[in-house]
Amino acid sequence: MDLKKATAMKKDPQRNLDEDVNPQTTQKIRDHFVKSGERNQGTALMAGKPILHYFNSRGRMESIRWLLAAAGVEFEEKCIKTQKDLEKLKNDGVLMFQQVPMVEMDGMKLVQTRAILNYIASKYDLYGKDMKERVLIDMYAEGTADMNEMIVRYPFLPSGEKETSLAQIKEKARNCYFPAFEKVLKSHGQDYLVGNRLSRADIHLVELVYHVEELDSCIMISFPLLQALRTRISNLPTVKKFLQPGSQRKPFEDEKYVEELKKSFCTAAQKLYCRELTMRSLREWTQARDKLVSADPPSRNRYRCPVLIR
């Protein structure tokens, strides 16, 4: 174990794990810090924690929260509470495509969920040991992302569409995605999906399992190996902590939660819309009045502004 390197990292906060070419060395150093009770060696020693910019909901940010938490990385969240907050971020020019998730990390402002996840996985050695492992991890991660996309949308659907969507989610999980992952685990008999060691694929899959179970509590009965994986991953100290109440994990967006979220956004959006309407009607009224007044100047006093009256 390279204690010299570990000590150098501790002394130099800017030093990061991704400078270590050999993942085994990285793992050893990580183990060293874990053993010595100094978790989050890559971040706690760095200048700042990653800052996550998103709504107060799971959405597309939840996988990022899971991955950071599993890697033992502490992070901060700047919650977008209103349309105004979102507009401000957009106007500040920090959202490359005018969208969130956005993560401030290592001096960068990262957008696009997949790119962010790739970066975190690479940095914290959760992305396999070679190209072949990596492509498997990508395949599995993309599969879970497709399934997750349906789940992310589900709480925000109009009530008339929810039932169909829920049935689709259950059907896909039960007959396509979960059997596929069960088969992978059965094929090699190992503890993790790829390369017999923890990768982002395991974290994404277990996150998905938790989310699907919230929608269908019996679904796991037919998938014993997935259940075992879930238990294994849930018992990792970092994940265990994240699963406990009071962590940064976001709750399932039930109807009440969605209503609250919509209210804070609709109110701000409506205000903006109303202001625009008001300004437009004011402009139109002024133009009409000016036309009348130019034909009959003394009539100016007869026209009072309807917007101001209102």
Ligand X SMILES: N[C@@H](CCC(=O)N[C@@H](CS)C(=O)NCC(=O)O)C(=O)O
CA dist 24 and 20 (Å) reads 9
Shortest spacing between CB 117 and ligand X, in angstroms: 9
Buried/exposed 255-285: b ≥16 CB within 10 Å, e otherwise: eebeeebeebbeebbeeeeeeeeeeeeeeee
The DSSP code sequence of 50-80 is: -EEEEESS-GGGHHHHHHHHHTT---EEEEE
Which one, 24 or 98, has the nearer CB to ligand X? 98
Element (H, E) at 104: strand 102-105
Element (H, E) at 108: strand 108-111
Shortest spacing between CB 143 and ligand X, in angstroms: 16
Residue 113 interacting with ligand X (CB under 6 A): yes
Query: Do 194 and 143 meet the contact criterion of CB atoms below 8 Å apart?
Result: no
Which one, 59 or 128, has the nearer CB to ligand X? 59
Residue span 85-104 as binding mask against ligand X, x where in contact by CB under 6 A, dash where not = -------------xxxx---
Query: Do 47 and 13 meet the contact criterion of CB atoms below 8 Å apart?
Result: yes
CA dist 115 and 145 (Å) reads 13
# residues contacting ligand X (CB under 6 A)? 8
Residue 199 interacting with ligand X (CB under 6 A): no
Interhelix angle for 62-70 vs 113-123, to 10°? Answer: 0
Which one, 101 or 195, has the nearer CB to ligand X? 101
Shortest spacing between CB 127 and ligand X, in angstroms: 18
Both structure tokens of 185: 């685990």
Shortest spacing between CB 86 and ligand X, in angstroms: 6
Please report, for residues 125, 263, 300, the alpha-carbon distance to residue 141 in angstroms, rounded to integers and kept in the order given: 15, 33, 69
CA dist 270 and 268 (Å) reads 5
Shortest spacing between CB 51 and ligand X, in angstroms: 16
Residue 65 interacting with ligand X (CB under 6 A): no
Residue 60 interacting with ligand X (CB under 6 A): yes
Shortest spacing between CB 261 and ligand X, in angstroms: 12
Which one, 97 or 131, has the nearer CB to ligand X? 97
Which one, 140 or 223, has the nearer CB to ligand X? 140
Which of 42, 59, 128, 143 touches ligand X (CB under 6 A)?
Answer: 59
Q: Is the dihedral of CA 80, 47, 233, 27 positive or negative?
A: positive
Query: Do 124 and 18 meet the contact criterion of CB atoms below 8 Å apart?
Result: no
Residue 264 interacting with ligand X (CB under 6 A): no
Shortest spacing between CB 228 and ligand X, in angstroms: 31
Which one, 100 or 209, has the nearer CB to ligand X? 100
Which of 82, 112, 227, 281 touches ligand X (CB under 6 A)?
Answer: 112
Shortest spacing between CB 60 and ligand X, in angstroms: 5
Which one, 70 or 110, has the nearer CB to ligand X? 110
Q: Which residue is nearest to ligand X (CB)?
A: 99
The DSSP code sequence of 196-227 is: TS--HHHHHHHHHHHHHHHH-TTGGGG-HHHH
Shortest spacing between CB 257 and ligand X, in angstroms: 15
Residues that bind ligand X (CB under 6 A): 59-60, 98-101, 112-113
